[in-house]
Amino acid sequence: MNNLVFGKYIPIDSTIHRLDPRTKIISLFLMIISIFIPKNWWVYLFLAIVVLSVVFLSRIRLGMIFKAFKPMIFMMVFLLVINVLSVKTGYLLLHLSFIDIYSDAVFNTLFIVVRLLLMVMLTSCLTATTKPLDLTLGIEHLLSPLKIIHFPAHEVAMMISIALRFIPTIIEETMRIMNSQKSRGVDFEEGSMSEKLMAIVSLIVPLFSVAFERAYELADAMEARGYIPGAERTRLRVLKYHFVDYLFIFVSLVVMTLVILSRIYL
């Protein structure tokens, strides 16, 4: 499972790791807004520097982050093709026998690509520096004002954290079932279409059966320990903002303001 780098927590210590999860979520939110505002390459250079310094502060190797790009290459090529086929504004850049390529098509794609790259870099930075449970705790806190309009913030957070908690378990389960079926002669890599289909069935059916079994067991275990959805509960770890957190949110706000101003005045 070495290829599952995107979204994996990397257990080291850094300034970013120590930030409050709420800070990271808020800052990410502000930064993503900032990333989608500008239409000027100089502003993107500025944003790239900001994003890279965050990555540098998190002490995550750039190589790790770049690995997250790989699955996106297909999407980017797809975007380019769609844009080239549909956008017909700007000046004519290239004239081929069957198709004309316009400048806006290329630049629009480049903007989208850069935005996506920056966004993925930041998001993987968040997931690499924050434990899944801290992340959901942060989400729960940020959503809790919505409780006034009867939004089940705690329940939603609990569902997210259960889902996150069981991703590694399900991956482990998948590996185990794959190994069992490989031992029975199933070939997951080669074979004809019908053999491949059989291979997938031999994986999916046991996986579902295990997942449901686990779900029932978990529900029983939670009930046995007196879990009541929506009940008032206390926490072992209470989130607290520190000076660095305020600084981080402030910097994000400044970046966003600068980007908005650049859009108005540049």
Partner 1 sequence: MAITFKSLSYIYDEGMPYAHKALDDINLNISENKITAIIGETGSGKSTLVEHLNALLLPSAGSLEILDHVIVAKEKNKGLKKLRAEVGLVFQFAEYQLFEESILKDAAFGPKNFGFSEEEAIERGKKALNMVGIPESMYQRSPLDLSGGQKRRVAIAGILAIDPKILVLDEPTAGLDPKGAKEMIDLFVELNHKHHKTVVIVSHDNDVVYNYADETVLMSGGKVAYHGPTLDLFEDEKLINDNNLLLPQTMVFKKALIEKGFKISKEARTMDMIVNEVVRVIK
Does 180 help bind partner 1 (rule: CB under 8 A)?
Answer: yes
Reported for 72-78, long-range contacts at CB under 8 A and 24+ positions apart, including other chains, are 72/116, 72/117, 72/120, 75/116, 76/109, 76/113, 76/116
Q: State in angstroms the smallest separation of the CB of 24 from partner 1.
A: 21
Q: For residues 248 and 57, is the Cβ–Cβ distance under 8 A?
A: no
Q: How far apart are CA 177 and CA 174, in angstroms?
A: 5
Q: Backbone phi, then psi, for 95, in 5-degree steps?
A: -115, 110
Can you tell me which of 107, 111, 113, 173 binds partner 1, judged by CB under 8 A?
Answer: 173
Does 260 help bind partner 1 (rule: CB under 8 A)?
Answer: no
Can you tell me which of 187, 217, 220, 223 binds partner 1, judged by CB under 8 A?
Answer: 187
Does 2 help bind partner 1 (rule: CB under 8 A)?
Answer: yes
Q: How far apart are CA 204 and CA 178, in angstroms?
A: 10
Q: State in angstroms the smallest separation of the CB of 177 from partner 1.
A: 6
Does 194 help bind partner 1 (rule: CB under 8 A)?
Answer: no
Rg (CA), the chain: 23
Does 156 help bind partner 1 (rule: CB under 8 A)?
Answer: no
Does 183 help bind partner 1 (rule: CB under 8 A)?
Answer: yes
* Residue 107 structure tokens: 């630049």
Within 195-234, which residues bind partner 1 (CB under 8 A)? 201-202, 204-206, 209-210
Does 182 help bind partner 1 (rule: CB under 8 A)?
Answer: yes
Q: In 10 A of CB 125, how many CB atoms?
A: 23
Identify which range of 8-16, 25-33, 122-130, 144-152 contacts partner 1 by CB under 8 A: 8-16
Element (H, E) at 25: helix 21-36
Does 53 help bind partner 1 (rule: CB under 8 A)?
Answer: no
Q: For residues 139 and 157, is the Cβ–Cβ distance under 8 A?
A: yes
Q: State in angstroms the smallest separation of the CB of 86 from partner 1.
A: 42
For partner 1, the binding residues (CB under 8 A) are 2, 10-12, 173, 176-177, 179-187, 201-202, 204-206, 209-210
